[in-house]
Each structure stands twice: as structure tokens, then as C-alpha cells.
Amino acid sequence: MKQSIKLVVLIALSTGLQSVRGADDDLLEVYVVNYTLQYFASRITGGHARVEFPAPRDSDPVFWKPSIATINDYQKADLILLNGAGYAKWLSGATLPRAKLVNTSSAFSDRYIKIGGEATHSHGPSGSHSHTGTAFTTWLDFQQAILQARAIAEELVSKRAGLKDTFEHQLDLLERELLAIDSELMEIGEKTPGIPLVASHPVYQYLARRYGLNLRSVQWEPREAPTDEQWAELVGILDAHPARWMIWESEPTKETQERLAMLGIESLVFNPGANVPESGDWLDLMRENVDNLKQIL
Amino acid sequence: MIKITDLDFVYPHGEFRLMVPDFNIKRSEKVAVIGPSGSGKTTLLNLIAGITVPKHGTVEVDEVTVSRLEDRHRRAFRITRIGFVFQDFALLDYLNVLDNILHPYRITRALELSRSVRQRASVLAETMGIADKLKRPVGELSQGEKQRTAICRALLPDPSLILADEATGNLDPDNKSRILDLLFECVDAHRATLLAVTHDHELLARFDRVIDFQGFRGGVAE
Amino acid sequence: MSDSLYLAWRYIGFNRWKTLTLMACITLITVLPLTLQVLLTETERQMLARAASTPLVVGAGGSALDLMMSTLYFGRDVPELINMSDSEEIWETGLADAIPLYVRFRARDYPIVGTTLDYFDFRGLGFAAGRPLAVLGECVLGAEAARRLELEPGDSLVSSPDNLFDLAGVYPLKMSVAGVLKRTYSADDLAVFVDLKTAWIIEGLGHGHGDVARDGDTSVVLERSEDNVVANASLVQYTEITKANIDSFHFHGEPENYPISAVIALPHDAKSSAILRGRFLESLVTAQIVVPFEVIGALMQNIFRIKNVLDAVIVVVGLATVLAIALVFALSLRLRQREIQTIFKLGCQRATIAHLLAAEIILILFASGVLCVGILLIVDHYSADLVRLVFVN
């Protein structure tokens, strides 16, 4: 609730209360595949669209499987914003109208990071999944995030040419904020050249590439105790890659942290922002991520 | 009723000539005309009815000089004032008895088919003993019944003259007599004149007068 | 005249066989060319309407007509194939929206049309039952296909094997019926629509886990081990995409190289259309871009040429029939000589005889006319179905 109010206030403030909301009939219906895109689209539309992200809060949007009814809702939308790079595995088995699909990362699709040779595993109630193929957290390279935001804005303008000025203004504001974060992360990267880091999950490829982080990944879950094999794997990695920090998507269990501490590893959280956070909005989350990452300095 | 004076008639191709210097029939008379085949009996009937017109002479029927009328007036005169009875009945097989009786009223504007006419038709049929057969197709009737139907048709317009051309020719002896009785009855009831061409010598005695046509060809005979 | 009509009515009723024969002749000779005209007009309308509503079609080089027959009418003959990349290239030009079609397989003799959801919006296809395609392995049936197959949403339909003797070839896919379309009186009524990816799975480009043997049916089992069952030839083999196994389905190779039979291109405006056509003409690739209206229009012209021949034949036959009818009336007049002589003697008007004959002709013509109108109204009412039955089916 707090986060929603914050979002509304932010939108109202940034537009200077100058946007006039049209009748409900004129509202664009936009469906997205992750929270990042929902945030971007909501910021840019400035209230002139209904931006829906139906995945449950506790689900991983990459591996979430919508129901048939939800797929039908996607089909009826005016725009369907995709992340690209193989994000949202359910798309390969679903039928969506091509005319409404927007691959927000197509501008840099030639620079997708291919991944492979990672171990498959099974975990938790959502079943097993694999991180082979293409790295998909494209927005963690904030230059790429800007390109994704621009792609969204371009499509919105094509649908509502009359609101071009509004959309471009909103995009401009968002871009500045993304640039600011990009700068801070660049600074962190420059100040920590080659420092070995470990990621609990292989979702930081673009972050590592853009900001020059020396990162190796395992495939652990924050709320699950790693197995002996997984600990052994980590130890093996540390032999050649003596990391002092492990980056997590969310706060790991105390037990895991303690055992990591025994290996001389501290934990920090860098939430990729794929789903809606407990509190705050996406930008709050990223700023928090930056602050957390500064610990490695 | 009928008065013919100096009649000279030749068919278009000139194969037959009929000359009748003088011929008279009184009103309400029942006259039989006899003569050999080809003597001109039917031609005489046609001249009297106005079906054909003579080259010379006059034919007067009911004080109307028919021979001087225009064709359409002759047709109107014929259908309103003269009733025909034919040897072969000349009924239409696609009409029932009543429609055959009413037939003259459907082929000319000179006669108007009204309710009273239909009622008269029923009465005539009753008189002729065919009232129960009015809705029957004529094909189902006996020879005698057909001729009675034909007589009803001839009498319905209440003509002043009945021309019967061998009216009993196709009937058996019993029917001949009965039909002639009925015809005479109706003619008397309607106060009409009857001119009948016949070969039946047994019936001649019942007529008022018999005219032998043998002498008419090229001359006068009575 | 009313008396003449009455007498004529009685006459033709009495001579009913002659009357019916005359009516049949007149009706046939009148209805035949008019029916042909109605049906051909409807054919032209349907074929041209479908062609006219399809701006551009891209396909492999070769017979443009074959390409049209496959793309517009889902004909049996599979044209030479192109790649999915051709469709994506059209999208990328920004000049047109592209709707790929893959019409190759059949399900119980009905064409399986692999396409995208955009096709349904493009053709304005609404749903009589169920819903649109949502996931792999689903199909949506045309109205007539659903009726003949007696299928409704929730039922299953198995695709037909490509080649009964090719054991290494395409296995039939058991598809789940998601929806049934409203009747459109077009080739869409007889089609089985699937997602393009489903069509590729039928082809074998996509694989997944599926049940091969029926439980408890030992007669179809050739060999059974702990983790494998080999079926004998008596088993109808199919793959089926279910909730449990859908995640296991994957495709090999690059999707842009996957085959399609054609692309329907929807240019944004006339200028875009011209530019797009120009690009294809200049291009060195063997693909062609075709305006369906021009191709089908040319076909229609050929049909009309045949119609001219048919018209000429009908005219000659019609003349002969009119002469025969005139002869019948003349003979009828002769048969009625006695009647004519009688009414003449009775003293009918001069025009009566003409009225009687005219009344007879009028009544017969009127009855034939009513019959003609009735037949034509029925033909016109069902012309869409008749045309589809004869030409589209």
C-alpha cells in the first residue's frame, strides 16, 4: 500500500500535475512480464495507461506460468511489453498476438550474453529450472535499461500520438534517474577493479559486464540451505576466485550467512527488481542495491 | 320471324351456290328442314344466324336485317337472340356441366353473367333433368345428358330463335324422342321459334311445318 | 378478360400434364441462366472479397495462383516454402504487419493452418464457443469443421500423419480444441487453426515428452521395459502437449529458419505498400510478393470467359425450347379448332379467341414465373453455402 501511494505521489509530482487523464475508455491497456517493465511503463505513461503485471508477488516472473485466463488477458491488451533475451519462459508455449508484442531489448539483442554449462537443479515447490541459454536480467546494465525505457516510450507514442510530449517528458525524467544510478555503479566498478565476487544466482551477468565486476556464480536460493555439494562447489570456486562478498537476490538465512562467514564471505543483497518489492518502488530498490554494493568498496 | 328474300349466296371458292327467292317462318313456329346432304341446309342456318352473308338478297330475323349488319353486330345479335344446338353437342370437355351452360356468357360482352343468370341456369337444368350433374365433367355424361346440357346452353340467353342442326343425330331412338319432347317444351315455354335441320323422318310429324330443301339449289322449293 | 382467364384456368387444369411440362420447360430455360448468374456472382463476390481484403501475400517464387489457393483457400497443394525470417523482415521494415501462415498438415482431411493470433483480428473472426488459442497444442476450429467433426471446446483432434509409411517421419499430434469460430462462409469455416509453433511441433521441429502407449492395452505393445514402451504398428501414435509436459517442449535450430508457406502483409498505407512491393521486386531472393485481388481477378476473368460459352449454349438451347413451346401452343390451337368453331358459331367476339389463347399463355407464364422466382429466391438465400460447397470445399 505504502509503495503504491509512493508511486502515485511520484507520478503526480514529476508531471507537475499537468497531465490530464482521459476517459477510462481511452486508457491504454498494457501488460508486462516483470516489475521493471511495469515501473518503466507506469512512469512513462504518467497515468495514461493501465499497466498490469499479473504474476504473484512471491513468484519468479522468469519461470512463472500464467493460467489460460491470464494468457487471454494478455491477448486482449493493447500492448504487451516483453523483456527479451528469453525472459518469461512461458512465452515459448503461449500464443500472443505478434502485433501487440514489443521486445524492449531488441535494440541491443546483438549484445545478449549467452550462457551455458551451468548446472541444472531442482528446488522448492515451483520445480526445477535451468539457467542455460541467454542471460535475461538485461536492465541491470542501466544503459540497456535506458534503451528499454526508450523502446517502451516509442511504442506508447505510436499508440497515443497525442500524448507524445507527456511520454517524452516522463521518459526524460526516468532516464536521468537511470543515468544517475549508472554513474554510481560505474564508480563502484572503477574503484574495485578485479575484486573477486560471488553471486548466489546467475542473474548478474549484465551488471558484471557493464560495471566491470569480477563475478562468478553459483545457483543457491536465499531461503534454502545449500547442500553439501553446493558448499563444495563454492569452496572449489573460492580456490581460484577468493571472493569476500556474495551477492544475493534477497536476504539469505542466518545459517547460510554464518557458514559463509566461516569461509570469510559476507553477504550483500542486490535485488534485481524482477518482482514487486515488499516496500518502496523499483527506483528505491535500485538505490538500495547501489548502497549495498558500496560495501565492497 | 324469319324472312329471306331473293337470297343468292356463293361460297368464296365458288363450289356451291344457294339461291332462295323466298323463305318465311312465323314466330313460335316449329319448322323442320329436310333434304339430301349438300343441299345447303347448314348453309341456310349459317345465313340465318349471320355467320355468313349473301351476295344478294336479305335475311331478316326477328325484324332485324341480319344480312346488312356489321360483323360485330351480327355476332352480338347471334349470341343474344339465337340459340344453337349441334349434332355433336359441341360441349367443352374441360368445363363442367354448369360452366358449359354458362359458356355463352363468358365469351361475349353482349351477355352479362349475373346471379339471376346462374339461377336461371339451375332452373333450366332442373327442367332438363340434369340439375344433379351440374358439377360433373361433361365427359361423364351420357349422350342424352350432353344434348340436354347443350339445349340448356342454347336456351339460357332466352333467344327468340333456336337453330338445331341434326340435334338428335347422335342419339339412340329413345333419347331422340325424349330430347325432342324436351326441346319442344322449352321452345314453347320460351315462346321461341324453332328451325331444325333433321334426317329423322319419324320425327317430322311433330313439327308444325316441314320444308324440303331439295328444290332450293338453283331454284325455289316448298 | 377475367372470363378468358377463368376459361384458360379450367383448360390448363384439365390438361395438367401438358401444362406441367410446358411450365417445366419454361421454368428450366429461365432459371438455368439466372441461377448460373446468381451463383457466379456469389462466387465472384466471395473469392474477390477474400482476395480484396488481403492486401499482399509473400511466398516462394513460382505460381502465384498456387500461392493464392494455399494462402486464401487452404488448398491441398502445399506451395514451395519460405522461412520465418521473411515474416520478421517485413515487420522490421516498419511498412507492414506480417502474418505468417503454415498450411501443410491436415487433421481428418481438414487443413491445419499454423498462424498467429493476428490472423483472427485480421479476418475479424469471432468465437461461437470457447476461446482463442492460448498455449501450445491447442486448436481452434472453423464453424463447419467443428460441425462435421462434431467437436466442441474441450474435445480433442489428432492431426493426420504426413506419410503412413515413414516411421521416422511426423507423428500425429493430439490437439485440444480451445474454441470454435463463428460461421464466416469462407475457407476459414473448414480450417483447423493452430499456433505456428504447434504446426512446427507437428512437423517435428519441436519435441517434448508425450505418452506413446495406451495403458492396459497390451495388444499394441511390442516391447516393454522399465522406462520404455515400444508400440507395434497397430497403435495410433501421437504426441500430446499437456500441462505436465509443456515445459519440456523445445525447438532445435533458429526459429527464423523454420518453414512457413506464406506471409500475409498488411501495409500501413498505400505508400508503404508500394515501397514494400518495390523492395521485393528489386530483391535478388526468389520470394515473390503478390496482390491477391489481381491474381484472383484474372482467374475470375477466365471463369467469365467460360460463362460466355455457357451463355451461348443456353441461348441456343433456349431458342430451341421456345420454338418447341411455340409448336406446342400451335398444336394446341389446332386441337381446339372445334371449340373455336363452336364459339364462333355461338357468336363470340372477334377478340375472344385471341383472349383465350393469350390467357392460357399468361397463366402458364405466370405460374412458371412464380416458380422461377421461388427457385431463385431459394438459390439466392443459399447461394453462399452452395458456392462454398462447390468451390471452396
Q: Say yes or no to pLDDT of C101 above 60.
A: yes
3-class SS at B99?
Answer: helix
Residues of C whose CB is below 8 A from A65: 247
Residues of B whose CB is below 8 A from C10: 94-95, 99
Distance from C-alpha of A230 to C-alpha of A220, rounded to nearest angstrom: 8
For the purposes of burial, counting CB atoms within 10 Å of the CB of A57, is it exposed (0-12), middle (13-18) or buried (19 or more)? exposed
Amino acid at A251: E
At B221, is the pLDDT very low, low, confident or very high (cuts 50, 70, 90)? very low
Domain boundaries, chain C: 2-47+299-392, 56-290
Closest CA to B149 of B82, B91, B81, B87: B91
Closest residue in chain A to residue C193, using alpha carbons only: A95
Distance from C-alpha of B218 to C-alpha of B21, rounded to nearest angstrom: 10
Is chain B adjacent to chain A, meaning 3+ CB pairs within 8 angstroms? Answer: no
**Residue B197: what are its φ and ψ, rounded to 5°?**
-90, 130
Chain A residues 236-295 within an 8 A CB cutoff of chain C: none
More confident residue, A20 or C144: C144
By the CB < 8 Å criterion, does A92 face chain C? Answer: yes
For the purposes of burial, counting CB atoms within 10 Å of the CB of A257, is it exposed (0-12), middle (13-18) or buried (19 or more)? middle
At C163, is the pLDDT very low, low, confident or very high (cuts 50, 70, 90)? low
Domains of chain A: 2-119+133-179 (3.40.50.1980), 192-296 (3.40.50.1980)
At C254, is the pLDDT very low, low, confident or very high (cuts 50, 70, 90)? confident
pLDDT in tens, B93-117: 999 999 999 999 999 888 899 999 9
Q: Which of A143-152, A268-277, C13-22, C149-158 has the lowest mean pLDDT?
A: C13-22
3-class SS at C199?
Answer: helix
In DSSP notation, A61-86 reads: TTT----HHHHHHHHHSSEEEE--TT
Q: Which chains have 3 or more CB–CB distances shorter than 8 Å to chain C?
A: A, B
Question: What residues contact residue A247 under an 8 Å CB cut-off, 6+ apart?
Answer: A197, A198, A199, A200, A204, A215, A268, A269, A270, A293
Q: Say yes or no to pLDDT of C237 above 50.
A: no
Contact B93 C14 (CB under 8 A): yes
Sheet containing A49-52: give its strands across: A49-52, A28-32, A79-82, A101-103
Contact C348 B75 (CB under 8 A): yes
Q: Say yes or no to pLDDT of C364 above 70.
A: yes
Amino acid at C172: P
More confident residue, C317 or C134: C134
Q: Say yes or no to pLDDT of B205 above 90.
A: no
Residue C319 grid cell:
431458342
Q: Say yes or no to pLDDT of A180 above 60.
A: yes
Residue C268 grid cell:
500501413
Amino acid at B190: H
Residue B99 grid cell:
360452366
Per-residue pLDDT, C218 = 59
What distance separates the 2 farthest-apart alpha carbons in chain B?
Answer: 49
Mean pLDDT for the stretch of residues B163-189: 84
Q: Say yes or no to pLDDT of A20 above 60.
A: no
Q: Which of B12-21, B198-207, C31-40 has the lowest mean pLDDT?
A: B12-21
At B1, is the pLDDT very low, low, confident or very high (cuts 50, 70, 90)? confident
Per-residue pLDDT, B218 = 45
In DSSP notation, A19-33 reads: -----GGG-EEEEES
Contact C347 B104 (CB under 8 A): yes
Mean pLDDT for the stretch of residues A174-192: 96
- Give the closest of C97, C99, C134 to A68, CB-based: C134
Per-residue pLDDT, A290 = 96
- Give the closest of B84, B95, B110 to C10, CB-based: B95
Question: What residues contact residue B116 under an 8 Å CB cut-off, 6+ apart?
Answer: none
Amino acid at A87: Y
- Give the closest of B51, B90, B94 to C11, CB-based: B94
By the CB < 8 Å criterion, does A122 face chain C? Answer: no
* CB contact at 8 A, A198 and A244: no
What distance separates the 2 farthest-apart alpha carbons in chain A?
Answer: 62
HSE (side-chain half, CA atoms, 13 Å) at B176: 16
Kindly tell me the sign of the dihedral angle through the C-alpha atoms of A149, A154, A155, A157. positive
* CB contact at 8 A, A274 and A296: no
Residue B60 grid cell:
331478316
Average pLDDT, chain C: 85
HSE (side-chain half, CA atoms, 13 Å) at C199: 27
Question: What residues contact residue C337 under an 8 Å CB cut-off, 6+ apart?
Answer: none
Q: Say yes or no to pLDDT of C393 above 60.
A: no
pLDDT in tens, A32-90: 999 999 999 999 999 899 999 999 998 999 999 999 999 999 999 999 999 999 999 99
Per-residue pLDDT, B150 = 92
Q: How many CB pairs under 8 A join A and C?
A: 52
Contact A72 C134 (CB under 8 A): yes
* CB contact at 8 A, C101 and C150: no
CA–CA min distance C46, chain A (Å)? 27
Residue C264 grid cell:
500475409
Distance from C-alpha of B68 to C-alpha of A85, rounded to nearest angstrom: 117
At C205, is the pLDDT very low, low, confident or very high (cuts 50, 70, 90)? confident
Give the pairing type, strands C156-158 and C221-224.
unpaired
Mean pLDDT for the stretch of residues A120-128: 39
Residues of A whose CB is below 8 A from C136: 93-95
Mean pLDDT for the stretch of residues A255-274: 94
By the CB < 8 Å criterion, does B139 face chain C? Answer: no
Residue A175: which H helix or E strand, with range?
helix A164-191
At A124, is the pLDDT very low, low, confident or very high (cuts 50, 70, 90)? very low
pTM of the model: 0.66
By the CB < 8 Å criterion, does A173 face chain C? Answer: no
At C227, is the pLDDT very low, low, confident or very high (cuts 50, 70, 90)? very low
Distance from C-alpha of C357 to C-alpha of C350, rounded to nearest angstrom: 13
Amino acid at C169: G
Q: Say yes or no to pLDDT of C100 above 90.
A: yes
* CB contact at 8 A, B60 and B4: yes
Residue C44: which H helix or E strand, with range?
helix C16-52
Mean pLDDT for the stretch of residues C219-244: 60
Residue C151 grid cell:
467437436
Q: What percent of chain A has pLDDT over 90?
A: 77
Contact A93 C249 (CB under 8 A): yes
In sequence order, what are the beta bridge partners of C56? Answer: C265
Q: Say yes or no to pLDDT of A120 above 70.
A: no
The Cα angle at residue A75 between residues A72 and A79, in degrees rounded to 5? 145
- What are C's interface residues with A at a Cβ cutoff of 8 A? 91, 97-99, 116-118, 121, 131-136, 138, 195, 197, 241, 246-247, 249-251
* CB contact at 8 A, B129 and B148: yes
At A126, is the pLDDT very low, low, confident or very high (cuts 50, 70, 90)? very low
Per-residue pLDDT, C171 = 67
pLDDT in tens, B36-72: 887 788 888 989 999 988 888 889 998 889 988 898 8
Q: Say yes or no to pLDDT of C233 above 70.
A: no
Per-residue pLDDT, C386 = 84
CA–CA min distance C150, chain A (Å)? 24
CA–CA min distance A2, chain C (Å)? 35
More confident residue, C6 or A123: C6
Distance from C-alpha of A64 to C-alpha of C268, rounded to nearest angstrom: 35
Closest CA to C304 of C43, C27, C22, C123: C43
Contact A93 C117 (CB under 8 A): no
Contact C348 B107 (CB under 8 A): yes
Per-residue pLDDT, A113 = 94
Question: What residues contact residue A8 under an 8 Å CB cut-off, 6+ apart?
Answer: none
Per-residue pLDDT, C217 = 54
Mean pLDDT for the stretch of residues C238-267: 85
Per-residue pLDDT, A268 = 95
> Of the CATH numbers 3.60.15.10, 1.10.3720.10, 3.40.630.30, 3.40.50.300, which one belongs to the domain with range B2-215?
3.40.50.300
Residue C129: which H helix or E strand, with range?
strand C127-130
Q: Say yes or no to pLDDT of C284 above 50.
A: yes
Is chain B adjacent to chain C, meaning 3+ CB pairs within 8 angstroms? Answer: yes
Distance from C-alpha of A195 to C-alpha of A208, rounded to nearest angstrom: 11
Q: Say yes or no to pLDDT of C33 above 90.
A: no
- Give the closest of B76, B86, B93 to C347, CB-based: B76
For the purposes of burial, counting CB atoms within 10 Å of the CB of C33, is it exposed (0-12), middle (13-18) or buried (19 or more)? middle
Contact A95 C97 (CB under 8 A): no
Distance from C-alpha of B127 to C-alpha of B124, rounded to nearest angstrom: 5
More confident residue, C53 or C206: C53
What ipTM does this complex have? Answer: 0.85
Using alpha carbons only, how large is chain C's radius of gyration in Å? 31
CA–CA min distance C42, chain A (Å)? 33
* CB contact at 8 A, A57 and A276: yes
Distance from C-alpha of B64 to C-alpha of B183, rounded to nearest angstrom: 25
3-class SS at A34?
Answer: coil
Per-residue pLDDT, C26 = 87
Q: Say yes or no to pLDDT of B196 above 70.
A: yes
Distance from C-alpha of A36 to C-alpha of C298, rounded to nearest angstrom: 54
Question: What residues contact residue C26 under an 8 Å CB cut-off, 6+ apart?
Answer: C321, C325, C364, C365, C368
Mean pLDDT for the stretch of residues C230-242: 60
By the CB < 8 Å criterion, does B102 face chain C? Answer: no
Closest residue in chain A to residue C132, using alpha carbons only: A72
Per-residue pLDDT, B220 = 35
Distances (CA, A) of B7 to A276, B19, B195: 130, 5, 18
* CB contact at 8 A, C122 and C132: no
Mean pLDDT for the stretch of residues B127-145: 91
HSE (side-chain half, CA atoms, 13 Å) at C146: 25
